[in-house]
Amino acid sequence: MREHVTGCARSEGYYKIDKKDKLKYLNNSRAFAEEPPADTQGMSIPAQPHASTRAGSERRSEQRRLLSSFTGSCDSDLLKFNQLKFRKKKLKFCKSHIHDWGLFAMEPIAADEMVIEYVGQNIRQVIADMREKRYEDEGIGSSYMFRVDHDTIIDATKCGNFARFINHSCNPNCYAKVVTVESQKKIVIYSKQHISVNEEITYDYKFPIEDVKIPCLCGSENCRGTLN
């Protein structure tokens, strides 16, 4: 592990971890040897380790991003959601030190702001299971499926926005929350703290514990080492 010269991981921001060092964390070196497959739009880039590193675990559905934060919405959430629709935060996606592509702030974002909606198709478990199998067959994996509740999943695999580029961090600057807008459940990424220009947007994926581990390369001092 790198020594933090300032004594505080947060004040050091995200720093580049050399590929050689990253490989030390990984059992399967294919993770960085392979380029992720691009779909027809050239936009399908997994936000976290490629499907090949996850082979062996059959029940992908168990691994989708579970939401432990509360799912209630209040008036201020709705107000902010409408503001977010009216004026979107300036964000960009570019190469990340954490993994492949990431989402970055192009303007300062205050704490407790809605940063971006996690847009995708709202599907039920039965459809998610079918798509999951199809995506596995196509080699896409199901890393863009986001669980809202026990029977609602937001699938951003083929129909999503920049939010799907957001990387996981064990010390994130954002968190995901479900808000209900006109009886539709939506996932919104909120800022936990002030976010500076060019800072990468991250949140904790909160994957459940599994035997087959996905290594975490977030680089934060309190990194748990694995995503699940």
Among 105, 170, 174, 189, binds Zn ion (CB under 5 A): 170
Query: What is the spatial distance between Cα 56 and Cα 220, in angstroms, rounded to a whole number?
Result: 28
Mark the segment that binds Zn ion (CB under 5 A) among 113-121, 142-150, 166-174, 207-215: 166-174
Query: What is the spatial distance between Cα 168 and Cα 177, in angstroms, rounded to a whole number?
Result: 15
For Zn ion, the closer of residues 44 and 48 by Cβ is 48
- Sign of the CA dihedral running 188, 189, 193, 195: negative
Q: Does 47 contact Zn ion by CB under 5 A?
A: no
Encoded tokens for 146: 């986001």
Nearest to 97 by CA among 161, 12, 187, 162: 12
Strands (DSSP E) contained in 20-60 are: none
Give the C-alpha distances (Å, rounded to integers) separating 168 from 151, 181, 184, 211. 23, 26, 25, 19
Q: Does 98 contact Zn ion by CB under 5 A?
A: no
Residue 149 C-beta: closest distance to Zn ion, Å? 26
Number of residues forming the site for Zn ion (CB under 5 A) = 4
Return the residues of window 111-150 that contact Zn ion according to CB under 5 A: none
Residue 223 C-beta: closest distance to Zn ion, Å? 3
For Zn ion, the closer of residues 16 and 124 by Cβ is 16
Which positions touch Zn ion (CB under 5 A)?
A: 170, 216, 218, 223
